[in-house]
Amino acid sequence: MSYETESLRFGPVTNTRGNMGVDKVKVLYIGGWGRSGSTLLDRMLGQVPGLFSTGELRYIWERGLLENQLCGCGLPFRECSFWGQVGKEAFGGWDEVDVAGVVGLRNSVDRLWHTPWLLGPAIWPGYGVKLEEYVNLLGRLYKAIRNVSNAKIIIDSSKAPSYAFILGKARDIDLRMVHLVRDSRGVAFSWKKQVVRPEVTYKVAYMPRYNPLTASLRYILDNGLLCFANRTPVLSRGAPPYVLVRYEDLADQPREMLARILSHVGYEVREDTFSFIDSATGRVFLGTNHMVAGNPMRFKSGEIVLRPDVEWQGKMPTSERFIVTLLTFPLLLAYGYLGREDGGRLGMVEFRSRRS
């Protein structure tokens, strides 16, 4: 039985194309490549009144529903009351969802190599049908999260360019993107570390590790695709409105960077908006959350000291630093990491898509 038939168990899917009166969900998407501070940014934004952190929502189907990994609140996903309410609101309960079918559907439309089809789905009619099915499913999910959380803006730190382009095609989602980048040397150094995944409770599991070559290539692909898509007139029609932020600037100037990000989504910053940040001590207070996936730091709560992780500068082997610098040189230059002692402070640069 096809997934399209199974999905009718949820009731008729509303096609929102051309519906100008649709109730749109505002989503702030954090894009880029892993180990760039996306979980930290997600969590800080989640402390702002009216914003709600979901973590890497792209993985809710397998990590949450199939594997029942821990939610950011510390409970197994299926025991978390918040996500239980979301499932009921969206689909009449998670038990009504053919999770394996949804995972198969997602895998058939959401991969890095699907990006050309995402930018022109009409070229491949079969792909377009599956994409429409998945987009409508996501529309239900995000609207349910908005309704249950009572938030004005949903934060999704899934990072993947392909998933961002998919969300951008949902007529009931008002998508904005923060492209978060970090010095490629720091990213490559971090990917070599062995990090335990505490959300997996039935065995000892580790986050994936990449050598400097592989990490550099992924850095180029994921970050380069987002930049290229948003600076190219033809491709930008399929990309969400966009701002670029450096992790190092976020750690150094959290209030300024968060204020600019919130301005990008039309949020009015007030005097007490960043009450969770102590600028004098560099401390940030993080409350509990319901993030479905992400870096293990999503399980930490209370005060943390905010400082950029520059361990790579003293510990990264010279040969590895050379390889990463050589391979990622164009992006290091574009992001302001070369040519000046302070790394060429970028702060934030904004690029708006030409999409109507």
pLDDT reported for residue 242: 85
- Encode pLDDT of 198-210 as tens digits: 999 989 999 999 9
Task: Summarize the confidence of residues 167-178 as an average pLDDT.
Answer: 93
Nearest to 130 by CA among 166, 174, 87: 166
Is residue 178 over pLDDT 90?
yes
- Encode pLDDT of 333-351 as tens digits: 999 999 644 443 333 333 3
User: What does the mean pLDDT of the chain come to?
Assistant: 87
Residue 31: pLDDT band with limits 50, 70, 90: very high
pLDDT reported for residue 245: 97
Element (H, E) at 225: helix 212-231
User: Is the Cβ–Cβ distance between 184 and 329 less than 8 Å?
Assistant: no
User: Is the Cβ–Cβ distance between 39 and 255 less than 8 Å?
Assistant: no
How many residues in total does the chain contain? 356
Is residue 1 over pLDDT 80?
no
- Encode pLDDT of 281-333 as tens digits: 989 999 999 999 999 999 999 999 999 999 999 999 999 999 999 999 999 99
All domains of the chain in start order, with CATH: 3-11+24-351 (3.40.50)
Residue 231: pLDDT band with limits 50, 70, 90: low
User: Is the Cβ–Cβ distance between 272 and 209 less than 8 Å?
Assistant: no
pLDDT reported for residue 13: 31
pLDDT reported for residue 329: 97
Among 18-27, 84-93, 131-140, 155-164, name the one with the lowest average pLDDT.
18-27
For residues 124 and 341, give the distance between their C-alpha atoms in angstroms, rounded to a whole number.
49
Residue 229: pLDDT band with limits 50, 70, 90: low
